Amino acid sequence: MIEFTPTREQYVYTFGGVAPQMRVKPGTALRLWSDDAFGGALRTVEDLSSAKVDLRFVNPQTGPFYVEGAEPGDTLVLHLVDLVPARDWAASAAIPFFGGMTGTDRTVNLQPALPDTTWIYELDRDRNTVAFTARHSDHRVELPVEPMLGTVGVAPAGGEVRSSLVPDRFGGNMDTPEMRAGATVYLGVNVEGAMFSVGDGHYRQGEGEACGTAVEGAMTTTLIVDLVKGHAPGWPRIETDTHLMAIGSSRPMEDSWRIGNAELVHWVSELCGLHVMDAYQLCSQIAQVPVANVVDANYSVVVKAAKRLLPRAEAYGGIHAELRARARSLGPL
Amino acid sequence: MIEFTPTREQYVYTFGGVAPQMRVKPGTALRLWSDDAFGGALRTVEDLSSAKVDLRFVNPQTGPFYVEGAEPGDTLVLHLVDLVPARDWAASAAIPFFGGMTGTDRTVNLQPALPDTTWIYELDRDRNTVAFTARHSDHRVELPVEPMLGTVGVAPAGGEVRSSLVPDRFGGNMDTPEMRAGATVYLGVNVEGAMFSVGDGHYRQGEGEACGTAVEGAMTTTLIVDLVKGHAPGWPRIETDTHLMAIGSSRPMEDSWRIGNAELVHWVSELCGLHVMDAYQLCSQIAQVPVANVVDANYSVVVKAAKRLLPRAEAYGGIHAELRARARSLGPL
Amino acid sequence: MIEFTPTREQYVYTFGGVAPQMRVKPGTALRLWSDDAFGGALRTVEDLSSAKVDLRFVNPQTGPFYVEGAEPGDTLVLHLVDLVPARDWAASAAIPFFGGMTGTDRTVNLQPALPDTTWIYELDRDRNTVAFTARHSDHRVELPVEPMLGTVGVAPAGGEVRSSLVPDRFGGNMDTPEMRAGATVYLGVNVEGAMFSVGDGHYRQGEGEACGTAVEGAMTTTLIVDLVKGHAPGWPRIETDTHLMAIGSSRPMEDSWRIGNAELVHWVSELCGLHVMDAYQLCSQIAQVPVANVVDANYSVVVKAAKRLLPRAEAYGGIHAELRARARSLGPL
Amino acid sequence: MIEFTPTREQYVYTFGGVAPQMRVKPGTALRLWSDDAFGGALRTVEDLSSAKVDLRFVNPQTGPFYVEGAEPGDTLVLHLVDLVPARDWAASAAIPFFGGMTGTDRTVNLQPALPDTTWIYELDRDRNTVAFTARHSDHRVELPVEPMLGTVGVAPAGGEVRSSLVPDRFGGNMDTPEMRAGATVYLGVNVEGAMFSVGDGHYRQGEGEACGTAVEGAMTTTLIVDLVKGHAPGWPRIETDTHLMAIGSSRPMEDSWRIGNAELVHWVSELCGLHVMDAYQLCSQIAQVPVANVVDANYSVVVKAAKRLLPRAEAYGGIHAELRARARSLGPL
């Protein structure tokens, strides 16, 4: 087990364009500490995002890691073993002109901004909850902790470098609650070494991430990295014990859905030996489509199918089951 | 209990613009038969939609019903007691230039059409399944029956008349699996009598309804109609034992989401006495956002919140719980 | 020449759903008075739209007119001979939550509204200008009068009735400056008699109609109505002495463009005997694409081609040239 | 006058991420040769894009150039003096799954591709035309040469590196016919030296660039580079003798328009001392909105206002007029 906690100087804010923090072999287990989306800048409700947050430098990434043997066209496999909150508090904010219920730098308008507001959530590890405390009214409620990673990605193709605010074909800031312990992520490799990184831990997040930020917290992530030669998926895929998923990230949101749905249909078609029209029909009747985010540079939509409703088949040679077993062999974390 | 099965001459294909089939008092239970989306035209895999289906006349509606006392600004309440497949088979089709994985009359392109294909599903009432049989490959799988209604709506405002293919502010063809037994639907009344109708039964449907059609089948729907004076919601709302939901239907899909999310935030804000910024924040961390359809004249997105994570409050004076009790008192159906 | 000025009771606010004002034969010249979009409600800068305008009842239409012999599948031809401002002033307004630089009922947000503001423009018939006077700053400028009609449409298909705020396949509130004197409009007929109407005169309008309203003024429109049996276009087309145009109206705006572009490509292909791929290529290099509106229920985009760059051909048997000649024969107006 | 023709090894395919070809002082005139979008790979109609073009490496850029003294927050000024076709032929192509009338990698569908087709245009310098020759039908027409640059951009902010297929806030592949001789372009500087480059010459292009490619040709561009300290615009701006313009590039297309329109409104407001609501109103009545492209990674929309309808004011201290004068002083080119 390799453990890595970046110093503040080691934070990176892009996918691509930076030198690796270290080289790892396929099969390696890693324990990675990542700071929250704000780099820890919002610690009290008096810390306002307009003063403390520069949107060009959010979602500090832990990484990138150079995976030995990974070449363009290969499939990087990341199995999330465990996600544990690394602080006893988390923060969320309504950042002016950022989020789903406000004009933004893209959906521009001339209206006045919403009030810049910060919420601080307290973690209760025994109860496994975070407490929401209203800021403009009188209410407090404990919400279950459901840890997830907002950003998991590799270096993009074609020499591009993208902000860690962006989700796209290379993964990145997809902001889906499906990115949780037990999930195996498949990402197409674009450059030698794949150069993956993770960050943007959420102690919980609603689908859509409506206000633009989740319950943002530092996270300790245990994962196993592996590699399948070739077979790069077109877009990020996730496998769990129960589901196959594909994630599209684009604009408008129907394009994100089209991407995710086509990726799932093709995956099911190839995996199960179904004609693409039959896979299209079957997925039409069984798919679940939870929205991931409607607030980032691209919107992300998850399209998923329950394995029990699909023809029996082992994706990527059954690597998910193997990694689940290996994760258990790591013992209590 | 009023029972009503329309003759073929009584099918209607619009919301608004038609005379009521009958008048009903608030509190009435109705048992309604509705034909499938194709008007029963696709009975074998040889029945192709290009020959048998005219998209201007699909989703035949059962109704409309004039609800006594309903006036513009009121809230029509429909509690779905029970949905039972009314035939032993159902149909689905990839209609040329209709659906999510093809160009359409809006997202126009110059590419050749996908192959016009019909699938017939057999119902097994004992196992509560419908059987999918592949058409272009060799596969058969039984899928759970999960009955729902594609279309539930009232007459639109401003004298408009809309096709039963359209979902919008008046409800209509929202095509969400949430429209199932146990759900209470709230719709704003736009004209005297509300003029609601139902139709487009689905024995099951994936979220997104990707190919444009679900497992389309005739349905027997038992529902209780009720009325709340005033308090018309801006957009359709659904309440279940566990969730509050709002449904936005527009284009592009992010606008559907914006509508549904704002409607939920305002509902939670008013119901729970939370400042709108606090309701925005809370919903951001707890919302679930299952896509309903990405294939109709407008795309529909459901935004929902679990009641257990919200401040305790009774929506519409607790009418959902009352209707649940009344439904039970109707006895075995 | 038939002259018609509706009484206020004769104003209609929908396409479809209303009885004809009168029957006219193909070939008839009509002189029609239409009120402004606000029904004349904004007469001074103190008349605010929040108090005086109900968005369900704007764009009062003059009509509808039943065209004798028009049947579904035919092509209604309207040649705009002359458009003359019918008042010496016009109005424009930034209506709260309506327009392009604000959240709307579709692109919903939680921000405060823009200030409700009305501008009154004075007409100078000698100089052929309207004078803009700033409301929140000190500036006055005369702008050329360039009269156009915002709404020209027929009854929709499938029994639908649409608000006069809506542009779609039936024409309607397309809000393009191309709808000016000298233009011949081709609209597909959906119901017997076609049932066309006009309204929403603009003394001038920028492309996009950004704030949601143009320089809105009562208008006297002289037009000749004609009919081509069959050949209904899929979407509205316009022909001038110099250009062929098609207008798409949908959402998102790229879909409006796709519609307009495909309609133009097919028109050029059929008219000029070009393979559709060659028409696609040629139009790609010569098209002009002025945005019409980004503020209505659907967004409208014009796609146009200069006739001089196309193979020589007579659209609809040269009817535009005939109508131009007939218009001249009407003498000074 | 500095002349620069890149060797093939000097072609670059990104904005950002590459070392400068040379350093230039503000005020320098440059004569730059750029290859066509395909890097010259399509020379006959038998050269198909599926075989010869890799979409990750198109639009080879000439540059980047390090402008001395340019710092983040400054305004890079590029005055296009002259654009001259550098070959006697040009190429266009319908690339499979690329362009406006086909599904793409974003607007994904399952339909078969359009036929991969290449068109070669012959230049006639005397007549100043390019000849279109149909490929699937029998037609030939000469079209006026109207040279423009598809890509003009600087290095992006936040350490991003973007493909030369992408238009965005940094400029890039905006593909607008407004980028022609006589135009002065204003771009916000994001990195020291600005690092601008140009490429993707078009001998002509229709608005929208419907099929995905223009009449693509090698180009000799004469331009003068200059610098204004500070005052970085939010998005690319263009000034000509007659118009002010802003260009938005995003998705969906209404967001591109919102960006461009807001940028123009703010520019007019600041330049002319108009309250933003008055600038909004005035622009609403005078703007022209020619679509640039609906086919790239982002869609681009130009929003422009005629100077003669605006309060008299000198943008950027009258630099456009100065550069026009300097261009004339360069003598015959």
Report the C-alpha dihedral over residues C242, C246, C247, C253, rounded to 10 degrees: -110
Q: What pLDDT is recorded for position A333?
A: 62
SS3 content of chain A, % helix, strand, coil (to 5): 15, 35, 45
**CB-based contact B281:A94 (threshold 8 Å):** yes
- Read off the pLDDT of residues B248-274 as tens digits, 9 standing for 90 and up: 999 999 999 999 999 999 999 999 999
User: How many CB atoms neighbour CB C72 within 10 A?
Assistant: 12
Predicted local distance difference test score (pLDDT) of residue C313: 87
Secondary structure E strands in B147-206: 148-153, 162-163, 167-168, 171-172, 184-188, 194-204
Each domain of chain C, given as residue ranges in start order, spans: 2-309+323-329
In chain A, the N- to C-terminal Cα span, in Å, equals: 11
**How far is residue C238 from each of residues B178, C155, C241, measured CA to CA in Å?**
45, 18, 10
Candidate from D139, D254, D283 with C-beta closest to C278: D139
Diameter of chain A measured on Cα atoms: 58
Determine, for residues A253 and B253 on separate chains, whether the beta-carbon distance falls below 8 Å.
yes
Tell me B316's DSSP state: G
Q: What is the mean pLDDT of residues D189-212?
A: 98
Distance of CA B211 to the CA centre of its chain: 17
For residue C289, the distance in angstroms to the closest alpha carbon of chain A comes to 21
* DSSP assignment of A270-314: HHHT--HHHHHHHHHHH-B-BEEESSSSSEEEEEEEEGGGS----
Q: Mind giving me the DSSP string for A206-264?
A: -TB-TTS--EE--EEEEEEEEEESS---SS-EEE-SSEEEEEEEESSHHHHHHHHHHHH
Compare all CA atoms of chain C with the CA of B107 and give the residue at the minimum distance. C255
Whether residue A56 and residue D255 make contact (CB cut-off 8 A), yes or no, is no
Shortest Cα distance, chain B CAs vs residue C160, angstroms: 5
Q: What is the pLDDT of residue D311?
A: 86
- Tokens representing C140 are 């006055």
Take residue C314 and report the two structure tokens written for it: 């007579």
Interface test with D, best of A14, A108, A111, A283 (most D CBs within 10 A): A108
CATH tag for C2-309+323-329 (out of 2.40.30.330, 3.60.15.10, 2.20.25.90, 2.60.120.580) = 2.60.120.580
Q: What is the pLDDT of residues B193-219, one digit of tens each?
A: 999 999 999 999 999 999 999 999 999
D69: left (phi over 0), alpha (psi -120 to 50) or beta: left
Instruction: State the nearest Cα–Cα gap between D254 and chain A, in angstroms.
Output: 8
Convert the pLDDT of each residue in C188-221 to its tens digit: 999 999 999 999 999 999 999 999 999 999 999 9
| Shortest Cα–Cα distance, D67 to chain C (Å) | 34
The reply to whether residue A285 touches residue B143, judged by beta carbons under 8 angstroms, is yes
CB A187 within 8 A of CB A76: yes
Q: Closest approach of chain C CAs to the CA of A224, in angstroms?
A: 41
C245, C255 Cβ separation under 8 angstroms: no
Pairing between β-strand C171-172 and β-strand A167-168 as defined by DSSP bridges:
unpaired
Residue B333 has pLDDT above 80, yes or no: no
Subunits next to A (3 or more Cβ pairs <8 Å) are: B, C, D
Pairing of strands D215-216, D219-228: unpaired
Please give the pLDDT value at position C91.
98
pLDDT of residue B312: 86
Instruction: Please tell me which of the candidates D109, D113, D114 has its beta carbon nearest to residue B101.
Output: D109
Which of B109, B113, B252 shows the shortest C-beta gap to D103? B109
Interface of chain A toward chain D, CB-CB under 8 angstroms: 13-14, 16-17, 56-57, 105-110, 157-163, 250-252, 255, 258-259, 261-262, 265, 276-277, 280
Query: Which residues of A lie closer than 8 Å to C, measured between beta carbons?
Result: 101-103, 107-114, 252
Minimal Cβ distance to D103: which of B103, B113, B252: B103
Strands in B69-128 per DSSP E: 75-85, 89-94, 117-124
Q: Which residue of A has its CA nearest to C98?
A: A109
| Residue pairs spanning B and D at CB distance below 8 A | 32
Assign C311 a pLDDT band (cuts: 50, 70, 90).
confident
How many C-alpha atoms does A241 have within 13 Å on its Cβ side?
6
Residue B329, classified by CB atoms within 10 Å of its CB into exposed (0-12), middle (13-18) or buried (19+), is: exposed
Say yes or no to pLDDT of A97 above 80. yes
Element (H, E) at A133: strand A129-133
d(CA A163, nearest CA chain B) in Å:
22
pLDDT value at D135 more than 70:
yes
pLDDT at B107 over 80: yes
Mean of the per-residue pLDDT values for chain B? 97
CA distance C177 to chain A (A): 24
| Confidence check: pLDDT of A332 > 90 | no
Q: Which residues of C touch D253 (CB under 8 A)?
A: 252-254, 257
Which residues lie across from D305 on neighbouring strands? D244
Are residues A214 and B284, on separate chains, in Cβ contact within 8 Å? yes
Which pLDDT score is estimated for D333?
A: 62
pLDDT of residue B313: 87
Alpha-carbon gap: C212 to the closest alpha carbon of chain A (Å):
13
User: What is the rounded CA–CA span in Å between residue D291 and residue B104?
Assistant: 22
CA-based radius of gyration for chain D: 19
CB contact under 8 A, C257 and D100: yes
Flag if C303 and D209 touch (Cβ within 8 Å).
Answer: no
**Residue of A128, A227, A239 lying closest to A178 (CA atoms):** A239
Is a pLDDT exceeding 90 seen at residue D49?
Answer: yes
CATH class given for the domain over A237-329: alpha beta
> Hey, are the CB atoms on D110 and B108 less than 8 Å from each other?
no
Residues in chain B closer than 8 A to C195 (CB atoms) = none
Which chains are within 8 Å of C by 3+ CB pairs?
A, B, D
pLDDT of C332 > 80? The answer is no
Report the candidate in A190, A301, A189, A302 with the shortest Cα–Cα distance to residue A250.
A301
The answer to whether the CB atoms of A100 and B258 lie below 8 A apart is yes
CA distance C49 to chain B (A): 18
Sort out which chain D residues have CB atoms less than 8 A from A281's CB and list them.
none
CB contact under 8 A, D285 and C204: yes
The percent of residues in chain B predicted with pLDDT above 90, rounded, is 98
Instruction: Give the pLDDT confidence of A261-300 residue by residue, as tens digits.
Output: 999 999 999 999 999 999 999 999 999 999 999 999 999 9
Kindly state the tokens that stand for C55: 């968005």
Rounded Cα distance between A161 and D250, Å, is: 18
Alpha carbon distances (Å) from A155 to A19, A228, A298, C290, D267: 11, 17, 17, 39, 37
Cβ proximity of A59 and A173 under 8 Å: yes
**For the segment B270-312, what is each residue's pLDDT rounded down to a tens digit?**
999 999 999 999 999 999 999 999 999 999 999 999 999 998 8
pLDDT one-digit tens code per residue, D136-150: 999 999 999 999 999
Is C269 a residue whose pLDDT tops 70?
yes
Q: List, for residues A155-193, the tens digit of each pLDDT value.
A: 999 999 999 999 999 999 999 999 999 999 999 999 999
Q: Do residues C227 and C75 make contact, with C-beta atoms less than 8 angstroms apart? A: yes
SS3 B276: helix
pLDDT at C138 over 70: yes
Query: What's the CA gap between D75 and D81, in Å, rounded?
Result: 19
Chain A CB contacts of C252 below 8 Å: 252
Check A110 against C112: CB less than 8 A apart.
no
Amino acid identity for residue D51 in this structure: A
D237-310+319-329: CATH topology = Endonuclease I-creI (3.10.28)
Mutate to test the interface with D, among C106, C291, C303, C310 (most CBs of D within 10 A): C291
- Cis before D6? omega within 30: no
What mean pLDDT do residues A69-77 have?
98
Q: Are C227 and C76 in contact (CB under 8 A)?
A: yes
As a whole number of angstroms, the distance between CA A111 and CA A146 comes to: 35
For residue B73, the 8-state DSSP code is T
Cα dist from B278 to A133, A217, B288, whole Å: 9, 19, 17
Q: SS3 of D263, please?
A: helix
Look up residue C137 and give its two tokens. 């700053």
CATH level 2 (architecture), domain B237-310: Roll (3.10)
Rounded Cα distance between C53 and C40, Å, is 10
Residue C331 confidence (pLDDT) above 80:
no
- D-chain CB neighbours of B108 within 8 Å are 101
Best of B284, B299, B300, B310 to substitute, by most chain A Cβ atoms within 10 angstroms, is: B284
Tokens of A98: 């950022």
Q: Do D102 and B113 touch (CB under 8 A)?
A: no
Q: How confident is the model at residue A311 (pLDDT cuts 50, 70, 90)?
A: confident
D75/B175 Cα distance (integer angstroms):
51
Judge whether C239 and C320 are in contact, CB under 8 Å. Answer: yes
- Condensed to tens digits (0 to 9), the pLDDT of residues C52-78 reads 999 989 999 999 999 999 999 999 999
Question: Which among D100, D132, D282 has CB closest to C285?
Answer: D132
Confidence category of residue C139, pLDDT binned at 50, 70, 90:
very high
Phi, psi of B277 (to 5 degrees): -70, -35
DSSP string, D292-323: EESSSSSEEEEEEEEGGGS----GGGGHHHHH
Please list every residue in chain B whose beta carbon sits closer than 8 Å to the beta carbon of residue A252. Answer: 252-254
